[in-house]
Structure 1
Amino acid sequence: MLHDGNGWSAGPDGARLWGRFGAAGLLAFTPDGRILMQHRAEWTSCPLTWGLPGGARDSHESAEDAALREAEEETGVRAGQVRVLHAEITAGPHPADPERPELAGDWTYTTVFARVPGPLPTDPNAESLALAWVPAEEVPQLDLLPAFRGSWPRVRAVLRRLLAGGGDPGAPGPRG
């Protein structure tokens, strides 16, 4: 059902995380290592920070499908313009919290890595203050969404392997 994933899940240390069935984001990257980054609007969760376009998964969606849908909604980049190479859980799972039974549990965030031929034109929606193709080495200099900052070393290692043509351990087959 479309948008049935909208809602909160339990996170660590009393946090609430968006997405009843988890969340996913698209790490679109160019052959020279630029990444499509989103500057988050003031009204969003973790406002005025930079992260990947993405959002809540719906109950019927794979992480790849959710990331591609959210990227199209937030950036205008369409599934047919990218080649998904790998998907990896980069946060969670966070179990349900018995003290907050109204919140879903088992939340995860999946980063979906997709190659693009070069920087694509973008069309930001209201969730974005800006979209930018940022060189990977400059990403840590941005005011990053805290969870993305925490996952960056792992994400960067996967990106390096993919840029080097080092394969795709354990990922589903290429798409797009």
Structure 2
Amino acid sequence: MPDDVPLAPVAPTSHTPPPLLHRHAGDAWVACGDHRHWGLFGAAGLLLARREPAPADGDPGRVAAVVLQHRALWSDQGGTWGIPGGALAPHEDAVAGALREAAEEAAVDPADIQVLATYVLEHPAWSYTTVIAEVAPGAVVEPAAADPESLEVRWAGLTELGALPLLGAFADALPALLAVYEGDTTILGGPPSSGTR
């Protein structure tokens, strides 16, 4: 199916998916053991952070908020919060796929962010890549729901994350993913480090 086929109009509050959901050849379910996952070629999402203003000592500042997507009710695990993301297109690398999905779903311009790292969750027949990024110096990112896959897309402060119903796998990985911003690369397969990059 061509990339430019639009989604049919549907309210994100509907429990029924739109009749025309597929945007590219990767948009389909994959059987993986006793589960199924979205994305024939895997999937990827963007964990985008905004830091507090940098202190005078040159420290980049602590992470204050991340962009979260409140998933449409018709979607898998609808009503939960996660990061913008989705199925990879054929021959699309994970970073490009995550940036494309964030632009489509959350109106995030890839020019306004800098990628710090990637984390791959491997399954026997599928993988999900979290692209860990932050707002580029001098850039301003105002995320917004840009398609019917979201009830809402916004900055969520770290202090409110515990009160939101997070997508299960995202909730499990979130503490280790956030630690990457503070220089702990354990989840990436490397030893913890003292820097932020």
Q: TM-score, normalised by structure 2?
A: 0.71
Alignment of 1:1-176 (within 5 A): 2=3, 3-12=24-33, 14-32=34-52, 33=63, 34-89=65-120, 91=121, 93-95=122-124, 105=125, 107-116=126-135, 117=137, 120-124=141-145, 125-161=147-183, 166-168=195-197
Separation in structure 2 between the aligned mates of residue 11 and residue 141 of structure 1, nearest angstrom: 31
After TM superposition, give the deviation of residue 87 of structure 1 in Å.
1.0
CA contact (8 A) 2:143 2:155 kept: no
CA contact (8 A) 1:25 1:52 kept: yes
After TM superposition, give the deviation of residue 119 of structure 1 in Å.
5.8
Tell me which amino acid in the other structure corresponds to 1:150.
D
After TM superposition, give the deviation of residue 138 of structure 1 in Å.
2.6
After TM superposition, give the deviation of residue 167 of structure 1 in Å.
4.3
Separation in structure 1 between the aligned mates of residue 32 and residue 140 of structure 2, nearest angstrom: 34
For residue 181 of structure 2, give the secondary structure of its aligned residue in structure 1. helix
Separation in structure 1 between the aligned mates of residue 95 and residue 115 of structure 2, nearest angstrom: 8
Q: Which residue of 1 aligns with 2:15?
A: none
After TM superposition, give the deviation of residue 40 of structure 1 in Å.
0.3
Number of aligned pairs? 154
Higher deviation after alignment, 21-30 or 112-121: 112-121
Separation in structure 2 between the aligned mates of residue 84 and residue 136 of structure 1, nearest angstrom: 20
Q: Which runs of 4+ in 1 moved over 6 A?
A: none
CA contact (8 A) 1:26 1:112 kept: yes
After TM superposition, give the deviation of residue 60 of structure 1 in Å.
1.1
Q: TM-score, normalised by structure 1?
A: 0.79
Tell me which amino acid in the other structure corresponds to 2:72.
A
For residue 85 of structure 1, give the secondary structure of its aligned residue in structure 2. strand
Between structure 1 and structure 2, the one with the greater Rg is 2
Larger relative contact order (CA 8 Å, sep ≥ 6) = 1
- Give CA deviations for 1:109-149 in whole Å, capped at 9, x if unaligned: 11101111576222312111011211224323210001111
For residue 44 of structure 2, give the secondary structure of its aligned residue in structure 1. strand
Gaps of 5+ in 1: 96-104, 169-176
Tell me which amino acid in the other structure corresponds to 1:19.
G
Per the alignment, do residues 147 and 54 of structure 1 end up closer, same or farther by CA in structure 2, a change over 3 Å counting? Answer: same
Separation in structure 2 between the aligned mates of residue 119 and residue 30 of structure 1, nearest angstrom: 9
Provide the aligned C-alpha RMSD in A: 2.1
